[in-house]
Amino acid sequence: MATQQKASGTSWVRKMIVAGALSAVSIALFLTPFGYIPWFAGASLTVMHVPAIIGGVLEGPVVGGVIGAIFGITSLIKAATAPQGPIDVFFTNPLVSVIPRILVGIAGWLIATLLRGLNRQLGYLAAGAVGSLTNSVLVLGALVLLQAIPLQLAASVFVANSLVEAVAAAILTAGVVSAWKGIEHGRSRSRLADEA
């Protein structure tokens, strides 16, 4: 049975369970303070969408999209029922909170697949960065489209926050995916980087 499944790729049961587990990671990060890396002046870098990118890179576009959708719906419900701040008000619209997140994992998968032949590590870094940028561009774009914020403000948020966020997402995606692949092939063990 194992060989059968290897021939046809991973089974849908496996894919859906991985999607469920990674969705839970992003929901858990979202519901605890650890989904944000605090930066300066109250601005924070969000990393909650990174599991969607990881899912996309590891298991394909469907898994990435599903994780993004579940995370997006959770953030939609939370934004509406227990808003944390003013920006949550805009996340009550699925165009802002759900659709961009679905595309995050798909974008990550696309980039990782395109760069697979070139350099895997670079592919994972690029997938993380592009996935994160997809999120920022689409969320900010939706906010501009809904006339919630002017284009000038969206552009400055993009420069100030999203580019740094993309770097953070790239590092985390590459860290997790290479650690997981290392475990899978039994070549190297995962280790904690820069603990000091």
Partner 1 sequence: MKSLEFFRNISIGQYIDIASPMHALHPAAKFALLFCISILALTAPTFAGAGAALLVAVLCILLARLPLGMAARPLKSLLYVAVLTILLQFVFSWPGDQSLRVLSLGTSLHALSLTLYETGIVASIVIRAAAMMLTLGWFTSIITEQDAIRSIERFLRKALRDSTIAHQAALVSAMALRFVPIIAGELEDIVKAQASRGASFGSDTRNPIAKARAYLPLFVPVTIRALERAELLAEAMEARCYTGRGRTEQALSPIPKSQILLILGALLATAALWWVDLTLCKPWIRPY
- Site residues for partner 1, 99-138, by CB under 8 A, read none
Binding of partner 1 by 1 (CB under 8 A): yes
Residue 15 CB, shortest distance to partner 1, in Å, is 8
Question: Which of 79, 51, 75 shows the shortest CA–CA distance to 65?
Answer: 51
DSSP codes, 32-82: SGGGEEE-STT-EEE-TTHHHHHHHHHH-HHHHHHHHHHHHHHHHHHHHHS
CB of 80 or CB of 137, closer to partner 1: 80
Q: Is 105 helix (H, G, I), strand (E, B) or coil?
A: helix
CB of 115 or CB of 176, closer to partner 1: 176
CB of 81 or CB of 117, closer to partner 1: 81
Site for partner 1, residues 151 to 190, rule: CB under 8 A: 152-153, 164, 167-168, 171-172, 175-176, 179-180, 183, 190
According to DSSP, the residues that pair with 152 across neighbouring strands are none
Reported as type and span, the H/E element at residue 173 is helix 163-185
Q: Indicate which single residue of 13, 42, 118, 185 sits in contact with partner 1 (rule: CB under 8 A).
A: 13
Q: Indicate which single residue of 52, 57, 66, 130 sits in contact with partner 1 (rule: CB under 8 A).
A: 66
- Window of 107-115, 119-127, 133-141, 147-155 that interacts with partner 1 by CB under 8 A: 147-155
Q: How many residues bind partner 1 (CB under 8 A)?
A: 76
Binding of partner 1 by 23 (CB under 8 A): yes
- Window of 87-95, 106-114, 117-125, 134-142 that interacts with partner 1 by CB under 8 A: 87-95
The answer to whether the beta carbons of residues 101 and 90 sit under 8 Å apart is: no
The answer to whether the beta carbons of residues 107 and 56 sit under 8 Å apart is: yes
Residue that has been written with the tokens 């997790």 in this structure: 176
- Residues constituting the chain: 196
The answer to whether the beta carbons of residues 57 and 113 sit under 8 Å apart is: no
CB of 118 or CB of 196, closer to partner 1: 196
